A and B are shown apart, each in its own frame.
Chain A
Amino acid sequence: DARVTQTPRHKVTEMGQEVTMRCQPILGHNTVFWYRQTMMQGLELLAYFRNRAPLDDSGMPKDRFSAEMPDATLATLKIQPSEPRDSAVYFCASGPNLAGGADTQYFGPGTRLTVL
């Protein structure tokens, strides 16, 4: 049963600290997405990659957020320094990027981040 995995599942940190979230996409999927979900804003796209290359990170605050794919099995999202307004659930999703646009995304369980 192939799944997207994310670590950690929960993270509580203090303002100013660095936070690193990790994601392992489903094997064989070549698109990876990072989303942030809050009650107020819903599910917002932060960044996405195809074949490990960043295609769109316009939704990400560049001054403190960075997203990378060191290899095909690992995607990372870093926040440095973290702020209380970054408190949210961060989801990673991967997709097979099928021809014709049926780009179904499969979501990981999320990282619930609380910045105090």
Chain B
Amino acid sequence: GQNIDQPTEMTATEGAIVQINCTYQTSGFNGLFWYQQHAGEAPTFLSYNVLDGLEEKGRFSSFLSRSKGYSYLLLKELQMKDSASYLCAVKEAGTALIFGKGTTLSVSS
């Protein structure tokens, strides 16, 4: 089975940079996803990594190290609207995504 760990909560201030870590244990790794979920809403896709390295998309970047079973989501120039839960999810070959329990990020002014 899979084991996905990420911090439960994080806080940061507007304009800052925050890094949300995710570690996982799996077999047959076939990609890692990050989703954003605002309170009371559905998760929405942020990023996908299958190869080692950094994927940048605007203010958000995601990093993967397959050998270490480690990923992080980097959020720059934080805004109040970035307050949300961030879900790390891992895909094994032939299976559906398995989600971590999420990291609740609170951004204050």
Chain A residues engaging chain B, CB cutoff 8 angstroms: 31, 33, 35, 41-45, 48, 55-56, 91, 100-110
Contact across chains for A107 and B91 when beta carbons are under 8 A apart: no
**CA distance in complex: A49, B31 (Å):** 19
Interface size for chain B: under 10, 10 to 19, 20 to 34, or 35 or more residues? 20 to 34
Q: List 15 A-B contacts (CB under 8 A).
A: A42-B102, A44-B99, A45-B96, A45-B99, A48-B96, A55-B96, A56-B95, A56-B96, A91-B42, A101-B50, A101-B91, A102-B48, A103-B31, A103-B97, A107-B43
A55 to B93, CA, bound (A): 13
Q: Which chain B residues lie closer than 8 Å to A55 at the CB level?
A: 96
Q: Hey, what's the 0/1 contact readout for B76-109 against A, CB within 8 Å counting as 1?
A: 0000000000010001010111111110000000
Q: Is the CB of B30 within 8 A of A101?
A: yes
Counting chain B CB atoms within 10 Å of each CB, the highest count among A35, A41, A43, A56 belongs to A43
